[in-house]
Amino acid sequence: MSEIAEQARVVAATNAAGAPPTAELHVDGLRVSVEGKPILDGVDLRVPVGQVHVLMGPNGSGKSTLAYSLMGHPKYQVTGGAASFDGQDLLALTPDRRAKLGLFLSFQNPIAIPGVTTVNFLRAALRAQGKELPAREFIARLGEEMTALRMDASFRSRYINDGFSGGEKKRAETLQLAMLEPRLAILDEPDSGLDVDALRIVADGVLRIMEKSEGRMGVLLITHYYRILENLTPDRVHIMHQGRIVDSGGPELAHLIEREGYDPYTTATSPPGTEVSRP
Ligand SMILES: Nc1ncnc2c1ncn2[C@@H]1O[C@H](COP(=O)(O)OP(=O)(O)OP(=O)(O)O)[C@@H](O)[C@H]1O
Ligand SMILES: [Mg+2]
């Protein structure tokens, strides 16, 4: 074997052995308080890039709190545990650094930013992440994504979420997801308040973005309804109750919740947060 061929063989073998593991969100024993009130009580979760994980749970169980905490909202005080993505300690990073690392959050209740148009917002967000596109390419991509989400072109120049209907806000959040191409998308109830057609458009949109990423994007989807999962088949479903993940399973778990609700968890006699065993 020639020296070069031998070197190539050694390099290939080293790469195979030392290839970085798939990027993953790791949450270990995360505890979070809001205004002094403990909300998350030791959350453990793994979401690998390339998979869709669903987070369900009764109102007030802490799902949005987890989402905000992972993004670094200053109101949510981490009092214990750890969270990392792709081996990087998230808790040590400011929200913009977390976004740069590839985290994205679509809000349950998106806020309006009067004075900032959708087009300027998206350009600034891409620039901040070092993903700026030449103007013509940016406009073309924005047009494509808006068409796919059946958004009227007038939304480009409207102030972000200002006067948008509930359903329009959810589409605008999905548009941000499409343009920013994150590595981990946390979608907080992207399906709430949508009519049946809009629900299909948003679900198809997320699926399309997922497929386009070719396994480079993971999704943590917070939802109350099985319906969106008819389009987006999850790899795992997690149930949160009283600030903890109390059960995890396959897509059938979401089906079970749809049929039976959360009674098996909320009426358990075991102490809150204790793993509830299911038949
Ligand atoms: N800024 C805040 N100030 C006071 N309490 C808060 C704050 N944010 C969250 N909480 C409380 O934390 C608990 C969990 O709220 P959170 O929004 O995380 O629930 P959720 O699981 O997302 O519920 P939902 O399904 O209704 O969206 C609730 O009791 C809520 O009132
Ligand atoms: Mg919520």
Summarize pLDDT for 88-127 with one digit per residue, the tens.
999 999 999 999 999 999 999 999 999 999 999 999 999 9
Report whether CATH 3.40.50.720 matches the domain 25-109+183-266: no
pLDDT for the residue numbered 147: 95
Pocket test for ligand 1, best of 37, 65, 66, 246 (most atoms within 8 A of CB): 65
pLDDT for the residue numbered 231: 84
Which positions of the chain have pLDDT values less than 70? Answer: 1-21, 268-279
Domain ranges within the chain, ordered by starting residue? 25-109+183-266
Query: For residue 95, how far is its CA from the centre of ligand 1 (angstroms)?
Result: 20
Q: Which two tokens stand for residue 28?
A: 């270990």
pLDDT for the residue numbered 267: 79
Query: For residue 143, how far is its CA from the centre of ligand 2 (angstroms)?
Result: 31
Question: Can you give the pTM of this predicted structure?
Answer: 0.88
Take atom 2 of ligand 1 and give the residue whose Cα is closest. 34
Pocket test for ligand 1, best of 37, 55, 64 (most atoms within 8 A of CB): 64
pLDDT for the residue numbered 279: 38
Query: For residue 62, how far is its CA from the centre of ligand 1 (angstroms)?
Result: 6
